[in-house]
Amino acid sequence: MDPAYTPQAEKELLESLKAAIVEIDADRAKEAAQKIIAAGIDPRKAINYSIKKAADTVGQKFDCGDLFLAHLVMVGDLMDEVSAILEKNIPSDQLVKKRVIVIATVQGDVHSVGKNLVAVVLRAGGFEVHDMGVDVASSLIIQKAREVKADMIALSSLLTTTMPYQKEVIDDLASMGLRGRFRIMIGGGPVTREYAVKIGADGYGKDAFEAAEEAKKLLA
């Protein structure tokens, strides 16, 4: 680090990045990221502190109704942009790879609100999230998971009659000898933890926040 920067000055820079992300001020956030790099501050500190704390703060604000889904999308986009700036200054062998999650609403189901919420909260929580949208066949989900080397597959279902497609993904993975490669988490209106256990899923999220905590536990 530039010896001109005291610990206090470092803290202020890290806080300014965090604040800019929380306020969804892209210009200020990118500028703060550049300043952190120019100051010679370890960019991993910015990732582990500023971005992570910003995500926590934004999550709390969403939970109490101060921020909405679109804000989470914007924060997620901004976090990706800032991370890209910071990661350019981290040697590639020291880059901590984000855990990867593929998320989809299962075949036959076009409901997306819950899935969208989980996707943005997971992204804000530091995961790399590939959102496949709605009405996605098991084969396509598995194909995507293999392609992006996912760590977890998250499946949403809002209709009782589409819940069996969550089981289908698990069964298809098993028949392909791939079950052990991916953690499976399920959720959605009529879905319960008991059902998750019954079909052999690894985890269940009652809502977006529980899903994020569950993902962190499963991928720790």
Identify which of 162, 166, 111, 103 has the alpha carbon closest to the alpha carbon of residue 138: 166
Least Å distance, CB 11 to other proteins, is: 33
Using an 8 Å Cβ cutoff, are 85 and 117 in contact? no
Binding part of the chain for other proteins, among 31-39, 58-66, 95-103, 169-177 by CB under 8 A, reads 58-66
Of the residues 168, 169, 184, 204, which one makes contact with other proteins according to CB under 8 A: 168
Question: Is 200 a binder of other proteins (CB under 8 A)?
Answer: no
Binding to other proteins, residues 125-144 (CB under 8 A): 133-134
**C-alpha pair distances (Å), 132 with each of 9, 52, 64, 97, 147:** 42, 25, 28, 21, 13
**CB closer to other proteins, 31 vs 210:** 210
Give ∠ CA 141-104-211 in degrees, rounded to 5.
120
| Alpha carbons 124 and 211: distance in angstroms, whole number | 12
Alpha-carbon dihedral angle through residues 152, 153, 155, 161, given to the nearest 10 degrees: -130
Quick one: which of 19, 26, 39, 159 contacts other proteins (CB under 8 A)? Answer: 159
The strands making up 152-156's β-sheet, listed across from edge to edge, are 128-131, 100-105, 152-156, 183-187, 203-205
CB 157 within 8 A of CB 166: yes
**Mask 21-40, x = binds other proteins (CB under 8 A)?**
--------------------
Distance in angstroms (rounded) separating the CA atoms of residues 78 and 61? 17
Q: Rule CB under 8 A: choose which of 18, 111, 115, 183 binds other proteins.
A: 111
164 touches other proteins (CB under 8 A): yes
Of 40-48, 70-78, 82-90, 169-177: span binding other proteins (CB under 8 A): 70-78
51, 82 in Cβ contact below 8 A? yes
Scanning 35-43, 45-53, 61-69, 80-88 for contacts with other proteins by CB under 8 A, the matching segment is: 61-69
Amino acid letter, residue 187 = G
**Binding of residue 105 to other proteins (CB under 8 A):** no
Instruction: Please state the closest distance from residue 192 (CB atom) to other proteins, in A.
Output: 6
User: For residues 49 and 209, which CB has a smaller minimum distance to other proteins in the complex?
Assistant: 209
Residues that bind other proteins (CB under 8 A): 62-63, 65, 68-70, 73-74, 108-113, 116-117, 133-134, 159-165, 168, 189-190, 192, 206-209
